[in-house]
Structure formats: structure tokens, C-alpha cells
Structure 1
Amino acid sequence: MNNPPATYQVNGAAIRATRKRQGLGIREAAEAAGISRSYWQRLETGSRRQMSPPAYAALRRTLHANEEELLVTREETGEKR
């Protein structure tokens, strides 16, 4: 059984683009996910990139995103395979 990572590294630009495609404002999206508006803004601007598994799951549900759609890619982190 795979355990979730301790945190997820999210892509702020992907979060913002997905939210806008859904036609949601920041306040509306944050309330739906059960997180603060300021926390959501920090995610979108990239000043906050790490999310706990429960917060990330709420973000994904709110944005109707698949599991990896909102994560930083290996290329963005410089990580090698």
C-alpha cells in the first residue's frame, strides 16, 4: 500500500489557471476548499508551495483536478529520474 507523501509541492500557476477555468474567484474557491483566502493566494503566487495531504485533497476536489495536475513537475524542481 502506498502512503501519501508528507507534503505535496504544488504549482501555483497551475492552481490559478485551473481556478480561472472553473470560473471561481479566490475567496469562493478557498471557502469551498475550507482554507483561508490568504493561504490560497500564497499558493497561487508561489510564496507557499507545500501542502499537507488533506489540504491538497480539498484543493483538488474544489478544482475538479486529477491527482498530479496541480503538482510541480520533475523538470520544474530539477529532479532527475
Structure 2
Amino acid sequence: MEAPPPTFEVNGAALRKRRMRQGLGIKETAQAARIDRSYLQRLETGTRSRMGPERYVRLRTVLNSTDEELLAPTTELQETR
């Protein structure tokens, strides 16, 4: 049996903040990253938090961002703080 594909857990509030700091609207960001606008909205509001690697890389590229800026803290990081 194959393992499920890896996913990235994004921090929705940080995602929205980064998009707005770049001066991008939700529609143009979604189009540039080739993801559905409603999917991006759900990520930003926290209704969804996981993204597949291809979508995540496209979105990170459009936002000219880093993993540290967009990914939610891992359990390991939360425990060491």
C-alpha cells in the first residue's frame, strides 16, 4: 500500500497577511497560483490548513514568501517554546 502524499500545513492568518502585504487580491493570487479562489479563502480563514506540495510551492512562489512565513508551527516547535 502506498503512503499518502505529503502535505504542508499552512498558517492561514500569515498567508492572508503576506498576500495583503504584497498588495494582491484573493482572486489574482488564486489565478496566479492556479488554485481555486474558494480554496484560498478556506486556507486563509482556517477552514482548511493542508496543501499538497505542488499547490503550496506555486502559492509560495506567487507570494514571494518562505516556508517560515507561511507554514504553521509544528508540534515540535510549539513544545520547545
> TM-score band, normalised by the shorter chain?
0.7 to 0.9
Residues 5-16 of structure 1: matches in 2 within 5 Å? 6-16=6-16
Q: What is the number of residues matched between the two proteins?
A: 76
Q: Distance in 2 between matches of 1:74 and 1:56?
A: 17
Q: CA RMSD in A?
A: 2.0
Q: Distance in 2 between matches of 1:40 and 1:63?
A: 13
Question: Structure 2 counterpart of 1:46, which letter?
Answer: G
Identity of aligned residues (%): 53
Q: Distance in 1 between matches of 2:70 and 2:49?
A: 11
2:70 alignment counterpart? 70
Q: Distance in 2 between matches of 1:33 and 1:68?
A: 19
2:38 alignment counterpart? 38
Q: In structure 1, list runs of 5 or more residues that go unmatched.
A: none
Q: Distance in 2 between matches of 1:22 and 1:78?
A: 27
Q: Distance in 1 between matches of 2:7 and 2:79?
A: 19
Greater gyration radius: 2
| Higher mean C-alpha displacement, 14-23 vs 60-69 | 60-69
SS at 1:80 equivalent: helix
* Runs of 4+ displaced beyond 3 Å: 77-81
Q: Structure 1, residues 19-75: CA drift from partner, whole Å, max 9, x if none?
A: 000000000000000001000000000000000011110110010001221000136
1:80 alignment counterpart? 79
Q: In structure 2, list runs of 5 or more residues that go unmatched.
A: none
Q: Which has the higher helix share?
A: 2
Question: Structure 1 counterpart of 2:28, which letter?
Answer: E
Per the normalisation by structure 2, the TM-score is: 0.84
